[in-house]
């Protein structure tokens, strides 16, 4: 189990793969909680959870979405969204809650809103192909791309308001035990593309994992703001680039991790525009 500690929030993302037993999977979980305590009235408590998990199941290749929203009668609440599959993860969390005191400092109510979304994937990639003999030294580069934002402020002393996001990726050689790992923290690092490389050899098997997490929390006593949002629903994308063209990049799941093998939506748009222009020119010539 991978444990990612993010500024007061502990995230445990299980990647339940055992060598020789299970080879790939995709997992997700969301939690939206809101609590309101009013004097002389029943307490309002909502804790809504949803999850999915597919191990050695073709469903892991398909994008699966989770959505939960919890609201209380004073307008406070939280939302958590997740969408993921092998190689692609998206997460969103938001929370809001009113200030629980009047102008004279009299306590009117207490409570909080809290949302969290998290997920992971894992796959096995056999180092083979390109006509290379067993034992030939090669390497694979992991490309990790992430886009999103945190609302400001992202933290208040005492933990009355907190918003965060984090991600990780690991590539491990199951024969040599060598691995590379990258942990990303939204409060400390910029969004964008990150790359790292692992030396291996033909005939070995690589375990490739990725995880993404968002959280947002606001209590009735927060001083700096009444809402918080971690929006990383633009997705975290994970891909592989081998040192020799033709080396295998298809996992046990059937997903091809080759960097840039699938055009982004903008690329498809340009491709479509170019195709239409070509057809128009051909019609004019004919």
pLDDT at 12: 37
Interval 185-232: pLDDT, tens? 999 999 999 999 999 999 999 999 999 999 999 999 999 999 999 999
Distances (CA, A) of 161 to 73, 201, 207, 222: 20, 48, 37, 6
Percent residues over pLDDT 70 in the chain:
83
**Is the Cα torsion angle 109, 161, 120, 179 positive or negative in sign?**
negative
Backbone phi and psi for residue 39, each to the nearest 5 degrees, phi listed first: -60, 130
Nearest-10 Cα torsion for 10, 65, 47, 165: 30
What's the length of the chain? Answer: 286
Q: In Å, what is the CA distance from 124 to each residue of 62, 177, 189, 207, 264?
A: 17, 14, 28, 5, 24
Residue 235 has what pLDDT? Answer: 82
pLDDT at 280 over 90: no
Domain ranges of the chain: 2-285
Spatial separation of the C-alpha atoms in residues 28 and 91, rounded to whole Å: 9
Report the pLDDT value the prediction gives residue 59, as an integer from 0 to 100: 96
- Between strands 227-242 and 88-96, the pairing is antiparallel
Confidence class for position 2, pLDDT limits 50, 70, 90: very low
Residue 85, classed as helix, strand or coil, is: strand
What pLDDT score was predicted for residue 259? 76
Per-residue model confidence as pLDDT tens digits over 170-198: 999 999 999 999 999 999 999 999 999 99
Distances from the Cα of 198 to the Cα of 137, 177, 183, 259, angstroms? 11, 11, 16, 15
* Rounded mean pLDDT, 29-53: 96
């Amino acid at each position: 189990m991978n444990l990612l500690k993010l500024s007061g929030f502990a995230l445990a993302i299980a990647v339940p793969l055992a060598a020789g037993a299970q080879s790939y999977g995709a997992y997700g979980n969301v939690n939206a909680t809101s609590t309101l305590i009013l004097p002389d009235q029943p307490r309002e408590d909502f804790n809504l959870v949803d999850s999915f998990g597919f191990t050695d199941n073709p469903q892991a290749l398909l994008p699966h979405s989770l959505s939960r929203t919890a609201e209380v009668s004073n307008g406070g609440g939280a939302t958590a969204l997740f969408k993921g599959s092998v190689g692609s993860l998206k997460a969103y969390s938001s929370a809001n809650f009113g200030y629980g005191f009047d102008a004279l400092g009299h306590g009117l109510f207490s409570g909080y809103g809290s949302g969290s979304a998290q997920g992971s994937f894992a796959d096995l990639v056999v180092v083979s192909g390109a006509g290379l003999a067993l034992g030939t030294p090669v390497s694979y580069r992991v490309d990790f791309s992430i886009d999103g934002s945190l609302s400001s402020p992202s933290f208040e002393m005492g933990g009355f308001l907190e918003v965060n996001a984090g991600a990780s990726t690991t590539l491990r050689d199951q024969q040599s035990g060598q691995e590379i790992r990258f942990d990303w923290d939204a409060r400390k690092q910029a969004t964008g593309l990150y790359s790292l490389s692992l030396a291996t050899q033909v005939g070995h098997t690589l375990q490739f994992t990725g995880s993404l997490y968002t959280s947002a929390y606001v209590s009735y006593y927060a001083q700096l703001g009444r809402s918080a949002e971690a929006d990383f629903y633009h997705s975290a994308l994970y891909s592989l680039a081998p040192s020799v063209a033709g080396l295998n990049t298809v996992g046990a799941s059937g997903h091809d991790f080759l960097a840039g093998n699938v055009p982004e939506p903008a690329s498809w748009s340009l491709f479509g525009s170019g195709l239409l222009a070509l057809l128009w020119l051909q019609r004019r010539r004919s």
